[in-house]
Amino acid sequence: MEEPEAVMLEKLAKKGLKFKAIPTYIRNLETAIREDPYINLKTLNIRLNVLGWNEFELDYCTVQLIKASLESGSGHKYFLPNLSREKPQ
């Protein structure tokens, strides 16, 4: 079985998010969830749209993958500010 983080990254990429934008998107989503742990999906999408993330709508499955990744603590390795897929020179 694939790790939730890998599935989450794949889903976000398939939805059109560029890899470099994913950390910022996740931080915005995480902030919205921390401010209102009972936020529903519709309100969450509206909040993200207001922040400029209107390229796509977040679905329930992806939200759950993101939550699982963040709750496990392992998801944060993907969301460091200077994240890059390229090797440092």
Tokens read off for 65? 């993958």
pLDDT of 2 reads 66
Q: Which of the two residues, 80 and 3, has the higher pLDDT score? A: 3
- Helix extents (H) in the chain: 4-14, 22-35, 41-50, 60-72
CA distance 2 to 86: 23
pLDDT tens, position by position, 30-86: 899 889 888 999 999 999 999 999 877 888 888 888 887 777 765 555 444 333 334
Residue 29: is its pLDDT beyond 60?
yes
